[in-house]
Structure 1
């Protein structure tokens, strides 16, 4: 069997996640995270639509991870994002991490807006 190393180009993949954190490109981000091919950082969550709208013209698709389970977006958010030419895919955060990594490895213009999967217990 031949194994091939995944090439993410200059992008930063999601390496892992746990209660209230994400590990992206080796760095830990506590709470919600916004990941793009240019980098990653904290995200203000679903109330921070401006951070997502600022991606217009730079990416084609945003995977929005809603935490441990799929949940609906706040009223009108999908419409606002799509009006700016952004594709929107809603899923659980674990699925959004996987989808982001695969799509990033294909060289596509993609981002992930991720809500944590749970609360830290420490």
Structure 2
């Protein structure tokens, strides 16, 4: 699915997504990413949902977002509570959803000027 960027927002924008890829600012990515609404796009070391560990959540916290959207792949899955506790302790809000829903929600929040971080798992086709 292709999405149209908002040329006035100045934020990183998800411009497309599908099985095995996502597109940020019209550049395709086929690996997990951490995407800040107003900053860096970096490869996230999480290779799959089942591989999520405490260090993956520490990467999110280090970026000091207001809110984290965690895209868990093709379906919504919930990380272990002990992993989410790090976000709670850091007083960072979070939402967990499938990756496509996370992309759509990210674009809306980034367009509103929110300090949002998208932590997205891209599953291979």
Q: Same fold (TM over 0.5)?
A: yes
Shorter-normalised TM range? 0.7 to 0.9
Q: What's the counterpart of residue 100 of structure 1?
A: 106
Deviation at 1:71, TM superposition (A): 0.5
Q: For 1:49 and 1:111, locate their aligned partners in 2 and report how far apart those are by CA, in whole Å.
A: 12
For the pair shown, the structure with the greater C-alpha radius of gyration is 1
Deviation at 1:27, TM superposition (A): 1.6
TM-score where L is the length of structure 1: 0.83
Deviation at 1:34, TM superposition (A): 1.0
Q: String of CA shifts for 1:32-90, please: whole Å, max 9, x gaps.
A: 1111021312111233222112122xx21100001011111134121111211210100
Q: Which has the higher helix share?
A: 2
Over 3 Å counting, the alpha-carbon distance change for 1:36 and 1:119 in structure 2 is same
Q: What's the counterpart of residue 40 of structure 2?
A: 39
Match status 1:20 vs 2:26: no
Q: For 2:7 and 2:96, locate their aligned partners in 1 and report how far apart those are by CA, in whole Å.
A: 25
Unmatched segments (≥5 aa) in structure 2? 47-51
Q: What's the counterpart of residue 49 of structure 2?
A: none
Contact 2:73 2:99 in 1 (8 A): yes
Q: For 2:90 and 2:8, locate their aligned partners in 1 and report how far apart those are by CA, in whole Å.
A: 26
Q: What's the counterpart of residue 115 of structure 2?
A: 109
